[in-house]
Copies of this chain bind each other. A is one copy, B any other.
């Protein structure tokens, strides 16, 4: 049975194919489109306090939801072009992160690996 993520992956792919947009979708271009969408997310939060950013109005949240989708859509397109499996990539990275940031050493600290490792 196809998973929900498989389903949206296929929908994203179909959307691009139907519009013949594949010709514009080099990984280079897709990385640019991705960061542009990420910036639209940042824009929503740039003048808010951290607290306000966690307490959005329903209207604002609906806008943010669509930005979230845009980022996911370009991330899927980029993965497709590079023939990478996002789910497998995340599991691989989480395993690496677990080694780099052992829970009992980094608990409650945002210092980066390189920083706490040296101390």
| A contacts, CB < 8 Å to B | 1, 3-8, 11-12, 15, 18-21, 23-24, 26-29, 31-36, 38-51, 53-54, 56, 61, 64-66, 68-73, 75-76, 78-79, 81-82, 84, 86-87, 89-94, 96-98, 101, 103, 106-108, 110
Are A84 and B106 in contact, CB atoms less than 8 angstroms apart? no
Residues of chain B within 8 A (CB-CB) of A73 are 90, 93-94
Residues of chain B within 8 A (CB-CB) of A32 are 31-32, 42-43, 45-46
Are A66 and B45 in contact, CB atoms less than 8 angstroms apart? no
Residues of chain B within 8 A (CB-CB) of A41 are 31, 34-35, 78
Are A93 and B110 in contact, CB atoms less than 8 angstroms apart? no
Residues of chain B within 8 A (CB-CB) of A89 are 65-66, 68-69, 72
| A29-B50 contact given A64-B84, A69-B92, A90-B72, CB 8 Å threshold | yes
